[in-house]
Chain A
């Protein structure tokens, strides 16, 4: 969740496991766009002495499709190099790390950022040997972590920001309930297998960290012909975003402990819409899905049109979803979900909104950048909460994507394509119980979000772990 260990194969390869992708227009600059791709799920903050880092042997990418053909027009590539300062020590650090170039810090990682313009066949190095901040070890090793992390924010050019490093996990989900046969605690008294009373949700990702790659760019860097998005109805205002991780085709383990990789990079993980592979794709095809490009997603459209979870809800909650059960029985394809997840929502469906990219079915996070950010009481339910600046118009860090998708799967979005359909009353009130209201952006973990780049919060400290990790260090002003 949203794509943490979502496929059997990639669950054995955390460094390449793409966990979340975010794409949004930042509240402090309508002309920019923020793209975030996270990797390494379920980081326990105290996980030393070899703390978490990106894979030197992994190619990380964030892709942008700006013409609706399902293929990337622009890709940002991120490669990492790890260096030792004190190779004879077993320690991550031999004293306080008080700056990003501290001599006390033993195992350090550096990034190279490259922009690939596929149409022009042009590769541009935006930054080389950019130092990453360390993991948040504890008050003695990383005494002023917020300042350290800020030193890891790099200005690639005058108005392009890059950050890579550890962050507090921003995704929140009652993963324990979801995967216990969908036994949502606020409704568990209605669940077929439970006799427990209603209860608040429990955030299964509380006090965990993740490795994050973040970019903040002028929107014109990503649009077709450098178009400046101002008109939401202009197709050029919408981009499709996804991230991926790739490994070289061959890996050989030498007898001296060395590992030799050879061959071109092969995609082993990808992510755009949260929960797509996790919830929609059958388990036996999940790793195959990870290997495929979005342009070929038509082959998976049937799993979106007839989602397994939509069929299960009326069974798991007997008598609660009669309209959904009838819709399922009709065999009609879920064209609402096909639009939301694979093509974008065409104009004319929701007044003043569209993020349609054309008929090519591709799992992309579609962001209409001409929709201004919602500064006053944004809804964590995004579009279904009446807030067009949120998921599935891109995705902000605080969007409650699990609740949004559960409600959509339960039928609340089907009237978009069939106004005669009346969703079950329960579908519109599904919640995981992790937020107090639609405008609550301070649910568990969300208190850690930063009001500025790189947006995901200061990572939880290894020393204060796990009971004392609420809250994480306060963000700077």
Chain B
């Protein structure tokens, strides 16, 4: 059964991107369920079944590059970027 798109799903798929900013892979999904949702625009439509990587070069810009297959989507969500950066900081501590 296809999982419905949700903020929680996105955070799960974004976990690879968390790794890209330095967090161990096991933690993000657990954090995702307890973190307060951001107020960024909610993605709609089907989910991507393959690997997804999210890359945040500087969370202060709110720019998140979401990579899947041979494509890239750039979204601006300052709160989500901050949340992931906080998770990254926890992983480093």
Q: Which of A252, A262, A264, A265 neighbours the largest number of chain B CB atoms within 10 Å of its CB?
A: A262
Known A250-B20, A252-B16; contact A262-B51, beta-carbon cutoff 8 A: yes
Residue of B16, B19, B50, B72 touching A249 (CB-CB under 8 A):
B72
Known A250-B53, A252-B19; contact A262-B69, beta-carbon cutoff 8 A: yes
User: Is B51 a contact of A252 with CB atoms below 8 Å?
Assistant: yes
- Bound: A272/B15 CA distance, A: 40
Interface residues in chain B, defined as those with a beta carbon under 8 Å from any beta carbon in chain A: 16, 19-20, 50-53, 55, 65, 67-72
Within 8 A of B (CB), among A260-319: 260, 262-265
In the assembled complex, A248 has its CB within 8 A of some CB on chain B: yes
Residues of B close to A260: CB separation below 8 A:
51
User: Is A264 a contact of B53 with CB atoms below 8 Å?
Assistant: no
- Bound: A252/B70 CA distance, A: 14
Residue of A248, A249, A262, A265 touching B52 (CB-CB under 8 A):
A262
Closest to A59 in B: B70
> Smallest distance from the beta carbon of B51 to chain A beta carbons, Å?
5
Residues of A close to B67: CB separation below 8 A:
248-250, 262-264
User: Is B19 a contact of A264 with CB atoms below 8 Å?
Assistant: no
Within 8 A of B (CB), among A237-265: 248-250, 252, 260, 262-265
Residues of A close to B72: CB separation below 8 A:
249, 263-264
Residues of A close to B19: CB separation below 8 A:
252
Nearest 8 A/B pairs, CB to CB: A263-B67, A262-B67, A250-B53, A262-B53, A260-B51, A263-B72, A250-B67, A264-B72
> Smallest distance from the beta carbon of B48 to chain A beta carbons, Å?
10
Closest to A250 in B: B53
> Smallest distance from the beta carbon of B5 to chain A beta carbons, Å?
19
Residue of B16, B50, B70 touching A265 (CB-CB under 8 A):
B70
Residues of A close to B65: CB separation below 8 A:
249, 263
- Supply 9 further A-B pairs (C-beta < 8 A) apart from A262-B50, A262-B53: A250-B16, A250-B20, A250-B53, A250-B67, A252-B53, A260-B51, A262-B69, A263-B65, A264-B71
Residues of B close to A264: CB separation below 8 A:
67, 70-72
Residues of B close to A262: CB separation below 8 A:
16, 50-53, 67-69
List 19 A–B pairs whose Cβ atoms lie within 8 Å, in order of A's numbering. Answer: A248-B67, A250-B16, A250-B53, A250-B55, A252-B19, A252-B51, A252-B53, A260-B51, A262-B51, A262-B52, A262-B67, A263-B53, A263-B67, A263-B68, A263-B71, A263-B72, A264-B70, A264-B71, A264-B72
Residues of B close to A250: CB separation below 8 A:
16, 20, 53, 55, 67
Main secondary structure of the interface of A (DSSP, over half): strand
Residues of B close to A252: CB separation below 8 A:
16, 19, 51, 53
Closest to B55 in A: A250
Q: Which of B50, B68, B72 neighbours the largest number of chain A CB atoms within 10 Å of its CB?
A: B72
- Bound: A265/B72 CA distance, A: 10
Residues of A close to B50: CB separation below 8 A:
262
Residues of A close to B53: CB separation below 8 A:
250, 252, 262-263
> Smallest distance from the beta carbon of A79 to chain B beta carbons, Å?
11
Closest to B17 in A: A250
- Bound: A249/B16 CA distance, A: 13
User: Is A263 a contact of B70 with CB atoms below 8 Å?
Assistant: yes
Within 8 A of B (CB), among A115-170: none
- Bound: A37/B71 CA distance, A: 26
> Smallest distance from the beta carbon of A160 to chain B beta carbons, Å?
26
Q: Which of B20, B50, B67 neighbours the largest number of chain A CB atoms within 10 Å of its CB?
A: B67
- Bound: A265/B16 CA distance, A: 18
- Bound: A250/B71 CA distance, A: 11
Q: Which of A249, A250, A252 neighbours the largest number of chain B CB atoms within 10 Å of its CB?
A: A250
Residues of A close to B55: CB separation below 8 A:
249-250
- Bound: A423/B13 CA distance, A: 64
- Bound: A248/B72 CA distance, A: 10
Closest to A260 in B: B51
> Smallest distance from the beta carbon of B57 to chain A beta carbons, Å?
11
- Bound: A247/B39 CA distance, A: 34
Residues of A close to B20: CB separation below 8 A:
250
Q: Which of B51, B68, B71 neighbours the largest number of chain A CB atoms within 10 Å of its CB?
A: B51
Within 8 A of B (CB), among A348-366: none
> Smallest distance from the beta carbon of B39 to chain A beta carbons, Å?
27
- Bound: A264/B68 CA distance, A: 8
- Bound: A250/B51 CA distance, A: 11
Closest to B48 in A: A262
